[in-house]
Amino acid sequence: MNEQSVDLQGRPYHRMAFIWTLLAGTFTMSISQSSLSTAYPTLMKYFGVPASTIQWLTTGFMLVMVVMMPVSPWLLNNLRFPVLFISMLALFDVGTFIIYLATSFPMMMVGRVMEAMAVGVMFPSYQSVMLQITPEAKRGGVMGLAGLVMGSALAVGPIISGIVLRYTTWQGLFVVFMAIITVVFLVAWKTIKNVMPQKTSRLDYLSVIGSLGFIGILYVVNQIGKTGVNWGLEGAILVVSVLLVAYFVWRQFHVAEPLLELRVLKTFNFDLAALLTGTSYIALIVVTIIFPLYYQTVLGLSPFASGMSLVPGAVLLSLLNPLTGRLADKIGFKATMLTGMGMIVLGWALLAGIGGKQPLVIMILIAALIEGGNAFVMMPAVTLGANSLPDHLIPHGTAVITTVRQIAGSTGVAVATLILAMVTQSHLSLGSMSARLAGYRAVFITFLAVSIVGFIFAAMLRDGRKTKSQA
């Protein structure tokens, strides 16, 4: 890769400095998505609120992210990228500072919403930019670096927060975020250049209103398995939300300048890529949520020890991401993703087939196998999807893929939690430990089935470098 490139004005810039600044900012933002779970007990005591309230710091974060993702292509088309990137860093930094000063839960929630708006815009945008500035033949390797952000941040978020909270207060976690983002903010003025062509258009507010349906659907999905839920009200919210999403989809095909160009879904390889990145993300997020629960409820580990048990898988994921990108460039995307889905299938099959209480080392190795498989699938799938589209549709394609992934991940966690609770409850007559093991095995079997479907998707792929949609 040539380190020296030129921006849209023909001015040279250092491409690797650009990429590392972009990744540093997005990685730090990404960690904030999954880092608060270990701080829940502390925050509940500090603000005097129950677990059902404090979990909105994560659930609300995801909801805001989902509605911002479809807006990201419009922002990329209408704002110079340095302005957009620096603005999102500033928004995240201010939101984090508000959280640091928070004396009440609503004040903290305002800060989290600001953080989520920035992350929701940057998640699809940074991928679009990296794909735009990289020749197609080298995209696999570069998107392997991007995979460090997408996969590693999710896996290491609870680990980093566990370490920080062991030695300081919960505010210390946000001091770390502020410090890093402030440094990236200052460096970005020098390294981030205007590399995305602008195509100004009017923001379609009716489409934005329709996209709120995604929030409603995700909200109802996150109520599954909870007690005391008013399902009459939730059912009404679901119906209205589905109608809003249907209107959103219809409108994208009937306006001259859609908010999100859904015609990308007419490309077969792109559809498979979106489904594959969603399938692999489900496997990753379920491992990071369910395995620590297994370590604590079955193996009796402390929350800190269970968090640290995720380290080997996170390290393997981080090491493999850049390598799998280059591998996809050499042997093809189909072979790479078949390998990854095969690893994920094998991991869930071992968990479903072995049965009984497993030693910690076995669980860590299987977690590493599943997370390692994710490295062979997630970012290669994003790259393949982009290679299947003309360049002007790449921002829309990455926004679609990221939205699908976020909804799939949230649904996966809700389903895993529901199955675990229901099967455990139904087997209590066998004893508490046997009931727990039955619950976890049901989760493992369910996601074995999901991963087999993902393997079939990978087998259906075509070589995206031979044909490109002209949509």
**Are 52 and 163 in a shared domain?**
yes
Which tokens is 315 given? 């390290």
Q: What is the pLDDT of residue 2?
A: 47
DSSP annotation of 111: H
Which tokens is 203 given? 């923001």
Q: DSSP alpha helices (H): ranges in 332-469? A: 333-354, 360-375, 378-387, 394-426, 432-459
Q: What is the pLDDT of residue 466?
A: 44
Q: What is the pLDDT of residue 331?
A: 85
Q: What is the pLDDT of residue 470?
A: 44
**Are 180 and 229 in a shared domain?**
no
**Are 285 and 402 in a shared domain?**
yes
**Are 249 and 328 in a shared domain?**
no
- The CATH code of the domain that includes 370 is 1.20.1250.20
**Are 117 and 213 in a shared domain?**
no
Amino acid code (one letter) for 219: Y
**Are 196 and 208 in a shared domain?**
no
- Per-residue pLDDT of 100-130, as tens digits, reads 999 999 999 999 999 999 999 998 888 788 8
Q: Is 247 exposed, middle or buried (0-12, 13-18, 19+ CB in 10 A)?
A: middle
**Are 148 and 121 in a shared domain?**
yes
Tens digit of pLDDT at every position of the chain (471 positions): 445 677 777 788 888 888 889 988 988 888 877 677 667 778 888 998 876 678 788 778 878 888 888 888 889 888 999 999 999 999 999 999 999 999 999 999 999 999 999 999 998 888 788 877 777 777 766 776 676 666 667 666 767 777 787 788 889 889 989 999 999 999 999 988 888 888 888 888 899 899 889 888 878 877 776 777 788 898 999 999 999 999 999 999 888 888 888 888 888 889 999 999 999 988 988 888 788 878 878 888 876 777 778 788 888 887 887 788 778 878 888 899 999 999 999 999 999 888 778 889 999 999 999 989 998 998 788 888 888 888 788 888 888 888 888 788 878 877 887 888 888 888 888 888 888 888 899 999 999 999 999 999 999 987 644 444 444
**Are 152 and 223 in a shared domain?**
no
Q: Which 3 state secondary structure label does DSSP give 42?
A: helix
**Are 329 and 387 in a shared domain?**
yes
Number of domains observed in the structure of the chain = 3
Q: What is the pLDDT of residue 178?
A: 93
For residue 227, what are the domain limits? 204-258
Question: Among candidates 164, 420, 436, which has minimal Cα distance to 300?
Answer: 436
**Are 343 and 440 in a shared domain?**
yes
**Are 145 and 280 in a shared domain?**
no
Per the confidence metrics, is the pTM higher than 0.85? Answer: no
**Are 72 and 105 in a shared domain?**
yes
Q: How far from 329 is each of 32, 244, 250, 332, 353, CA to CA, in Å?
A: 31, 40, 36, 6, 35
Which of 164, 182, 200 is where one domain is finished?
200
Q: What is the pLDDT of residue 394?
A: 83
- 206 Cβ neighbours under 8 A, 6+ residues apart: 251
Q: What is the pLDDT of residue 261?
A: 85
